[in-house]
Amino acid sequence: MRVTIFGATGMLGKALMQQWTADSVVGLGSKDADIRNPQQVAQAIKQTNPEWIVLSAAYTDVDGCESNQQLAFDVNCQGPVNVARAAKDSGARLLFVSTDYVFDGSKNWPYQIDDPRAPRSVYGRSKAEAETQLAAILPGCCIARTSWLFGSGGKCFPDTILKLAATRPELDVVNDQRGSPTYTADLADAIIRLCRKNASGIVHATNRGECTWFEFAREIIAREGLNTVVRPTTTDKFPRPAPRPAYSVLSPESLEKYGIQLPSWQDGLSRYLSARKSSNIP
């Protein structure tokens, strides 16, 4: 199978490139092809001639999107539209990586793939609009929503917590946002398997289980055997430009229909911490 990955230099893209070894894979970063430029996208797809395109490129600075709305929609919506049109012209299949932020977080039980989109942030709106337009351009495309990504090769929550814990005896972490932490290595595995199964439609792909950011941080500190005290707090004590969903757990049913079940987030965290140590990250 011939595969082209847009966003290969990002945290998820790096995991995809590392793990996708059994097929012919070309990884492209923004320097290779800017997805905002339809000519560059079309040329890249013409040159690589993929059977599958995986689009993991995105502007993921959620707070930055609030003050850079045009950039957010250019990268997160128009970029995917450019890729979808080029994919349609070339006859390639497309998997687009989306987000739990397309929901408003008002539920208190897992979101299903057909729950209505109701994004509260610019980032969420840009991804939700992309989902809508891609489904119209390529009805057979696969939209893989995920959440709370962490992994090697990029900024992520466990890395931030460990760096803070190295200099602070106490950490206050919000305890009123609940989701499913997802290890990039596990998401990459799911994406590879979805492509091989010719998946289409919306799929929710996260590690199993759920927690709050406080519970996530407490688990990180405990597994590393640190003495840092982690205290629960509330979102209103840490005002941010972009509103976060209070609850954004995604139901795994759509993924399990393809015979795919990801490990628990605790299992993913354990492997991430081991990989982090082996990389000698302070």
Residues classed as catalytic: 123
User: What single-letter amino acid sits at 174?
Assistant: V
Q: Are the C-beta atoms of residues 53 and 83 closer than 8 Å to each other?
A: yes
Kindly state the tokens that stand for 37.
């430029």
**CA distance linking residue 104 with residue 248, whole number of Å:** 8
Cα 64 to Cα 68, 69, 150, 180, 238, distances in angstroms? 6, 8, 19, 23, 16
By the 10 Å C-beta count (0-12 exposed, 13-18 middle, 19+ buried), 111 is classed as: buried
CA distance linking residue 60 with residue 213, whole number of Å = 18
Residues 20, 187: Cα–Cα separation, whole Å: 12
Other CB atoms within 10 Å distance of the CB of residue 21: 8
Residue 46 burial by Cβ neighbours in a 10 Å radius (0-12, 13-18, 19+): exposed
DSSP 198: T
- Count of residues in the chain: 282
Angle at 212 between CA 211 and CA 213, to 5 degrees: 125
